[in-house]
Amino acid sequence: MVVRVRIRNAETGSTVDMELELENTVEEIIEGVAAYWEKDPGAYVIRKGRRLLRGQQKVQELDISSNEELELIPDPEGGNR
Amino acid sequence: MDRLDRTRRIGWVDLDRIQEARVLIVGAGALGNEAVKDLVLFGFRHLDVLDMDNVVRSNLNRCVLFRENDQSSGRGKSEIVAERAREMSPEAEVVPLNGMVQSFGPEELGRYDIVLGCLDNVAARLHTNANTYHAGVPYIDGGTDGFRGKVQVVVPPLTPCLQCAMNRSHFKVMERRFSCTGEDTVFYQPKMAAEITTTSIIAAIQVREAVKLLSGKDTIEHVTYYDGMLGTSETFQLEQDPGCPNHTGVVLSEH
> Does residue B230 sit within a domain?
yes
Residue A80 lies in a domain: no
> Which residues, in sequence order, are CB contacts of B15 under 8 Å at separation 6+?
B4, B7, B8, B43
Residue A50 in domain? yes
Domain membership of residue A47 (yes or no) is yes
Mean pLDDT by 10 residues, chain B (255 residues): 92 97 97 98 98 91 93 93 97 97 96 97 95 97 96 96 95 72 58 88 98 98 96 96 82 48
Q: Coil, strand or helix: which one is B46?
A: strand
Is B200 among the domain residues?
A: yes
Supply the DSSP symbol for B117: E
8 Å CB contact of A43 and B227 = no
pLDDT given for residue A8 in this prediction = 97
Judged by CB atoms closer than 8 Å, whether chains meet at A80 and B173 is answered as: no
* Residue A79 forms part of a structural domain: no
Work out how many domains chain A is built from and give that number: 1
Minimal-distance CA residue of chain A relative to B243: A56
In a domain, B253, yes or no: no
Q: Could you give the number of structural domains in chain B?
A: 1
CA distance B9 to chain A (A): 32
How far does A21 lie from chain B, in Å, by closest CA? Answer: 19
Find the CATH number of the domain harbouring A47: 3.10.20.90
Q: Which domain holds residue A25?
A: 2-74
Q: Is residue A81 part of a domain?
A: no
Q: What is the mean pLDDT of each run of 10 residues along chain A (81 residues)?
A: 94 95 96 93 94 95 91 91 70
Which residue range forms the structural domain that includes residue B185? Answer: 5-241
Q: How far apart are CA A16 and CA A32, in angstroms?
A: 11
User: Which tens digits make up the pLDDT trace of B36-66?
Assistant: 999 999 999 999 999 999 998 888 888 999 9
The whole-number pLDDT of residue B43 equals 97
CA-wise closest residue to B117 among B11, B205, B214: B205
Say if the ipTM goes beyond 0.90. yes
pLDDT tens-digit profile of B50-107? 999 999 888 888 899 999 999 989 899 999 999 999 999 999 999 999 999 999 999 9
Q: Which of residues 18-57 of A touch B (CB under 8 A)?
A: 26-27, 30-31, 34, 41-45, 47, 50-52, 54-56
